[in-house]
Amino acid sequence: MEDNIAFIGIGAMGYGMAANLRRKMLQEATLYVNDPNAGACKRFVSEFNDHGPVEILGTAKEAAERAGTLLSMVPRPDDVRKIYLDPETGVIAAAPNTDLKSTLLVDSSTIDPATTREVGEKLMKAGVGTYVDAPVSGGIARAADGGLAFMIGHPPTPSPTQIRIQSLIQKMGNPEKVFFCGPLGSGLAAKISNNYLSGSFNVAISQAMSIGILSGVDPQTLYNVIKSSSGQSWMAENHQPVPGLVASAPSSRGWERSFGHAMMMKDLELGVAAAKEVGVEPTMGERALEMYQTAVEDDDVKDLDYTSIYKLVNKGLTERQ
């Protein structure tokens, strides 16, 4: 049981993460998967069973009873509560683990820190395992190639649990991008801070590029200027919202969605709430959030990538290129 791993939530991100686990974990150990989408579970078993045993489980309770490590990647706080705290089907319903090497519970969902602390405290009292938050950054591509960044709500001081977490995470992430951020909830605080920036940057980049282009600057020249100057950023170089400047960017594929407006809206809502909780006035985040709230209702961009905010910025304007 100790070497078995369970993964709950094999959606767009979880599928690639679970795939890397199955490739890199002990071949004789079993990977258990669970997801409301039964088809995704069956496809995963078919695709990765050659790497070692893969079994589908019906509940998180079963997963906690059969695996030494359980990971989850789900969209909402209520989903996390159901996985871990449901009195009948959740992890908390599993028999208390008296083994010194207790079950390791790792949640990679992007939710509010208050929920993760609530879940962690209740699981600790129930004695069913050690719970940590470990949200990720990098998107679907990095989930698939094992290059995710992880922000972990656990102290960086070496300990048996810290070493165990490190070993697990390195099967799914870039070892140089694994960050132990502090106590429970601090991984999420770091992730939310980063997302506050990325959501705001996207709006700022879209507006800045529009200012230059509408003022007559050639798009490629403007991109090169910003790339070589103080406005340079990872976002502008990798998720450039202006089509034709970065071949790999969604904008150059008709803003084909890799990360939608609704997801960015959720991330910024978390960021704005976190700012207010600590007394920071989130003026930039609130204005950016308004843009995404408009985007999810706009027929021209609502189904596109979040970088199509550029289209929204330019709606009704005439480009003088």
Domain shared by 74 and 170, yes or no = yes
Domain shared by 26 and 108, yes or no = yes
Domain shared by 152 and 204, yes or no = no
CATH number, domain with residue 76: 3.40.50.720
User: Is 198 inside a domain boundary?
Assistant: yes
User: Is 257 inside a domain boundary?
Assistant: yes
State pLDDT tens for residues 65-76.
999 999 999 999
Q: Is residue 219 within 8 Å of residue 209, measured between CB atoms? A: yes
**Which residue spans within the chain are E strands per DSSP?**
5-8, 31-34, 54-56, 69-72, 104-107, 130-133, 136-137, 148-152, 173-180
User: Is 320 inside a domain boundary?
Assistant: no
Domain shared by 218 and 134, yes or no = no
Give the pair of three-digit tokens for residue 238: 């990798």
pLDDT of residue 320: 42
Q: Which of these three, 183, 201, 226, is where a domain ends?
A: 183
Domain shared by 71 and 162, yes or no = yes
Query: Which 3 state secondary structure label does DSSP give 12?
Result: helix
Query: Which domain range does residue 127 map to?
Result: 5-183
Domain shared by 151 and 194, yes or no = no
Catalytic residue (choose from 61, 101, 171, 191): 191
pLDDT of residue 101: 56
CATH number, domain with residue 208: 1.10.1040.10
pLDDT of residue 319: 44
pLDDT of residue 100: 39
pLDDT of residue 123: 95
User: Is 318 inside a domain boundary?
Assistant: no
Q: Which of these three, 183, 208, 237, is where a domain ends?
A: 183
Q: Which residue has the tokens 């809206």?
A: 265
Contacts of 110 (CB under 8 A, 6+ apart): 135, 188, 191, 192, 195, 266, 267, 270
State pLDDT tens for residues 179-201.
999 999 999 999 999 999 999 99
| pLDDT-above-70 percentage for the chain | 97
User: Is 105 inside a domain boundary?
Assistant: yes
Split at pLDDT 50, 70, 90, the class of 276 is very high
pLDDT of residue 2: 78
Split at pLDDT 50, 70, 90, the class of 1 is low
| Separation CA 104–CA 101 (nearest Å) | 8
Domain shared by 222 and 163, yes or no = no
State pLDDT tens for residues 190-249.
999 999 999 999 999 999 999 999 999 999 999 999 999 999 999 999 999 999 999 999
| Separation CA 255–CA 241 (nearest Å) | 8
| Separation CA 92–CA 200 (nearest Å) | 38
Give yes or no for residue 262 having a pLDDT over 60: yes
Question: What would the DSSP string read from start to end of 198-242?
Answer: HHHHHHHHHHHHHHHHHTT--HHHHHHHHHTSTT--HHHHHS-SS
User: Is 122 inside a domain boundary?
Assistant: yes
pLDDT of residue 96: 72
Q: Which residue has the tokens 């960044």?
A: 149
Domain shared by 195 and 146, yes or no = no
Enter the DSSP assignment of 102.
Answer: P
Domain shared by 135 and 222, yes or no = no
pLDDT of residue 305: 97
State pLDDT tens for residues 11-52.
999 999 999 999 999 999 999 999 999 999 999 999 999 999
| pLDDT-above-90 percentage for the chain | 93
Q: Which of these three, 136, 161, 183, is where a domain ends?
A: 183
Domain shared by 129 and 277, yes or no = no
pLDDT of residue 321: 38
Q: Could you give phi then psi for residue 70, rounded to 5 degrees?
A: -130, 130
Domain shared by 209 and 117, yes or no = no
User: Is 108 inside a domain boundary?
Assistant: yes
Domain shared by 29 and 166, yes or no = yes
Split at pLDDT 50, 70, 90, the class of 95 is confident
Active site annotation includes 191: yes
Q: What is the mean pLDDT of residues 86-107?
A: 83
Number of separate domains in the chain: 2
User: Is 321 inside a domain boundary?
Assistant: no
